[in-house]
Amino acid sequence: MKSPDLTFRSPRRRAYALLDVVLAVALFGITATGLMRVMQRVGETSTGFARDRYLQTQIEALLSEKRMLDIEAMASEAVDPLTGITFRTYVEVHEIDNGEGAELGDLYQLTAEAIYLDDGGEQTERAAILIHKPEQ
């Protein structure tokens, strides 16, 4: 008795096998493209967070450094050559009423700004602190 030939397949079955392969490749391509887009967005988001953290750190450092100086020496402007971000500090007299009609003196507002360009145009991040510097 002859054994049946198991390798024989009808053309219809071969066509379904080819369709399965094409569908699997298409599904893989769609999935890979979607994953690449997600990874790109994650990269863009983490780059934005890193820039924001850098700006926050630099502004805090500027405020900490400048608050120790005399009032006249607090104003400054510098450009970071690596990032192109302009950091600026300035000081203004801050007037507050003490509640009894008298003004509290020797109060100043020290403001630090970071000015930079991104996709939305020129952006400004700003932070300010109040400083009491009695006249000497």
The domain ranges of the chain are 11-132
Q: CA 125, CA 111: separation in Å to the nearest integer? A: 10
pLDDT over 70, % of the chain: 89
pLDDT of residue 2: 59
For residue 120, pLDDT beyond 90: no
- Indicate the range of 50-54, 56-60, 98-102 predicted with least confidence: 98-102
Residue 128: pLDDT band (50, 70, 90) is very high
Pick left, alpha or beta for residue 125 (phi over 0 → left; psi -120 to 50 → alpha; otherwise beta).
Answer: beta
- Answering whether pTM is above 0.75, one says no
